[in-house]
Amino acid sequence: MNKNVLILGASSDIGIELIKLFIKQDYSVTAHCNSNDKKLISEFKTYKKINFVKKNFLNLNNQNLKKFCHTKLNNYYSIFINLTGYMTKKTYLNSDLNSLVESIKINALIPSLILKNILKKMIKNKYGRILNCSSIGVKFGGGLNSYNYSLSKHTSEFIPSYFKKLSKKDIIYNNLRIGVTNTKIHKKIKNIRELKKRIKLIPMNRSAQKKEIANYIYFLVSNKNSFMTNQTVTVSGGE
């Protein structure tokens, strides 16, 4: 079995935990980050089965996207995970066209086009596991300062009807809406009182741990998930 996995947005806290799980199972990981992420690289610099790909999606157009896929992402990946999480602190009222286009381009459009380019090899090999990581914010219309982010994640949840046909070839595609998680993004929230209020809205009365979310992602792209496809599922402590 092919054990190549591609993770877009791998430098997130959840991405790093996820890479650890794949390495334990002897996968070869291609880890994408927008820049020279020192934390990501230093964490796994001793591992031979990891390849770091640095690319800012904002700078990609049709021509250099094709070149990027051909030169950097030309393997057969049996697993594709979109963890991109570009965020701007925009409310609905102060959003603008440029910031909206940026968010949707980075979090939804570029990952979808990259997937399209590697899908041919999945079809040829009659196997693929695809997971798009979305946000619980989509369910609630976004947070106060995350309109652009939530709209882009809502866009990323669109699953083309074409994937229903690919189910026969053992190609599985799902969305995972992730709830409030104890990551560096939430640690940056200066108003601890507001964060505590947000956590109290969760029926389990706590945020998720990054390892918990990584385990759910790993399950959904593993062989243990053999029959659930074309679905949007939520892991959010009951919200």
More confident position, 189 or 162 = 162
pLDDT of residue 198: 86
Whose tokens are 């950097």? That residue is: 72
Structure-token pair, residue 169: 């070839």
β-sheet bridge partners, residue 79 = 5, 129
Tell me the average pLDDT across 52-59: 94
Q: CA-CA distance, 179 to 163, in Å (whole number)? A: 26
Contact 199/239 with Cβ under 8 angstroms?
Answer: no
Structure-token pair, residue 172: 């599985």
Q: Which of 175, 160, 61, 156 is nearest to 111 (CA)?
A: 156
**203 phi and psi, to 5 degrees?**
-55, -35
**pLDDT tens track for 131-154:** 999 999 999 999 888 999 999 999
The domain containing residue 226 runs over which residues? 4-235
CATH number, residue 126: 3.40.50.720
Rounded to the nearest integer, the mean pLDDT of the chain is 94
**pLDDT tens track for 11-48:** 999 999 999 999 999 999 999 998 767 888 888 989 99
- 194 pLDDT higher than 80: no
Q: CA-CA distance, 51 to 160, in Å (whole number)? A: 29
- Domain count of the fold of the chain: 1
Tell me the average pLDDT across 82-93: 94
**pLDDT tens track for 63-75:** 999 999 999 999 9
Contact 36/111 with Cβ under 8 angstroms?
Answer: no
